[in-house]
A and B are shown apart, each in its own frame.
Chain A
Amino acid sequence: MQWKTIFMKELLEDWRSYKWIWVPLVFILFCIMDPLSTYYLPQIIQAVGGLPDGAVIDIPETEPEMAIMMSLTQMSMLGVLVVIAITMGVIAGERKSGVAELILVKPVRYVTYILAKWSAKLLLVFVSYLVGMLASWYYVNLLFGEITIIEFFSLFLFYFVWLIFVVTLTVFYNTMMKVPGLVLTSTVITIMAMSVLNQIFSFRLPWLPNSISEHITTMLTEGSIPNELWMASAITLGLSLILLLFSRYIFQTKEMAE
């Protein structure tokens, strides 16, 4: 019951700050940008002045699988940054402005508070990401060739596991720090460090969270879900759960101390 109240309040707040409009639009933009510009590359070159006479460049045919992976690549750079930016103040901002105290003097459990905030942001990210990827799917089917429903939803859901982790990590830093900018910086640094670790150890440990998108590429080219993808997803979800438990603990001790 309390969970629902805080959850609804959070959704309402995101609506009032126009997040429910601009985040889906921006995700559509990120997702369709690369497939579109790849398809229209010859015309774009022509329009910006064309090539000198006699110059020939062969633009290789792009497979539909590669085209839709371009959307995921954009999502994992710009998309993730936007996800962190909209989540960075979710708890930190309220603690800074004192709203969190107002809520927590009432008999609201810390877990309820964190979970409600976390799920509200996750819903926003899910819907925006779904809208963006559907737009990309539409264009890829139109311009490059067919991606089946099953292929689409498996790549969509497996990649969403990574986004769940990003949201959870941001919420985790939210419970540690009061300044949204610091939350942003810490989350970005952590993700970058994890990506370095992944590059170093991906040969030995092929199931680190950052490797999910590589495995999705393998899945699309081979047509079956590799075991590493299941493992990486399970580990990513497990890590998210642990982070949530830690967030609750840290948040409680921090709030008690004040």
Chain B
Amino acid sequence: MQDFTNGSIEDLVEFLPIIAPLILIQLILMIIAIISLIKADDTNGPKPIWAVIIVFLTFIGPILYFIVGRRQS
């Protein structure tokens, strides 16, 4: 049991270099998708659902929104 706890803290330190850039990309994607969603007059499908998709589906949510959700004005 003790081994496991030690292991996971070490893992966290070891994982940091891979996770950091990915988290950054996800954050930026999410923020611009949300900004774009708020500014958009009209989307394909209801806005609240898109907001949920963007926030909770890591990476895929924002990409889906940009490709499918935005409606050309």
Residues of A within 8 A of B (CB): 17-19, 21-22, 25-26, 28-29, 32, 36-37, 39-40, 43, 46-47, 82, 85-86, 89, 93, 97, 135
Contacts and interface: CB of A to CB of B under 8 A. Distances in A.
Given A18-B32, A22-B62, A89-B72, A43 B11 contact: yes
Contacts of A29: 22, 25, 59
Contacts of A36: 18, 22
A26 B29 contact: yes
Determine the main DSSP class of A at the interface with B. helix
A46 B7 contact: yes
13 contacts: A17-B36, A18-B32, A18-B35, A18-B36, A22-B32, A22-B33, A22-B63, A22-B66, A25-B25, A29-B25, A40-B15, A46-B11, A97-B72
Nearest to A84: B67
Contacts of B47: none
B28 A25 contact: yes
Nearest to B21: A32
A85 B67 contact: yes
User: Looking at chain B, what size class is its interface with the partner chain?
Assistant: 20 to 34
Interface of B: 7-8, 11, 14-15, 18, 21-22, 25, 28-29, 32-33, 35-36, 59, 62-63, 66-67, 70, 72
Nearest to B11: A47
Contacts of A37: 18
Nearest to A180: B72
A127 B66 CA distance: 18
B63 A26 contact: yes
Nearest to B14: A43
Contact of B15 (A22, A43, A89): A43
A47 B8 contact: yes
A47 B8 CA distance: 7
A21 B32 contact: yes
Contacts of B66: 17-19, 22
